[in-house]
A = this chain, B = another copy of it.
Amino acid sequence: MSNEQLYIAAVLHSWKQVLGRYSDGIAPLTDEQFQKRVAPGKNRLYYLLGHLIAVNDRLFPLLGIGDRLRPDLDEAFITNPDGTLPDPLPAAELKALWTEINNKLTAALERFTPQQWLEKHTAVSNEDFAKDPTRNRLAVVLSRTNHLSYHSGQAMLTK
């Protein structure tokens, strides 16, 4: 492997590892168990999963790899806090959606060449990217991996 391929392998491994651990953790949960809160007065596991789905779904346009699957979920899981709106889907459907979105995302990440990882994400203008080339796809994926780790730590508290 070239040095650039080794960098990418580490980033992809990190992404898949964090995704795998969280996904394994929620796989056996029933709809009822998804109603548990990570701590008193804090988010339900159900809301966290919806939130993670919406955030990852936003990566398709942000990384320039396609359209979102479910932009309609932002209202319930990003714009509003837990408990504001009725739950839009059963937890089992959220779980299936989580798998679908991440399989599609990961496949797209695996197709990026080293150069494509360093291309700008779509929320930065050409001018700003010329001034700051660190606003690239790689930075976005590292940030979302951390975001998932952050909420995984919370979800784990219900064990």
Contacts and interface: CB of A to CB of B under 8 A. Distances in A.
A13 interface: yes
B18 A146 contact: yes
A118 B14 contact: no
Chief secondary structure at chain A's binding surface: helix
A3 B115 contact: yes
Contacts of A143: 14, 17
A7 B9 contact: no
A145 interface: yes
Contact of A14 (B7, B17, B18, B146): B146
Interface in A22-72: 38-40, 42
Give the copy number. 2
A35 B80 CA distance: 31
A110 interface: no
Interface in A101-157: 114-115, 117-118, 133-134, 136, 138-139, 142-143, 145-147, 149-154, 156-157
A149 B153 CA distance: 8
A25 to B, nearest CB: 12
Contacts of A4: 3-4, 7
A62 to B, nearest CB: 15
A148 to B, nearest CB: 8
A85 interface: no
Interface of A: 1, 3-4, 6-7, 9-11, 13-14, 17-18, 38-40, 42, 114-115, 117-118, 133-134, 136, 138-139, 142-143, 145-147, 149-154, 156-157
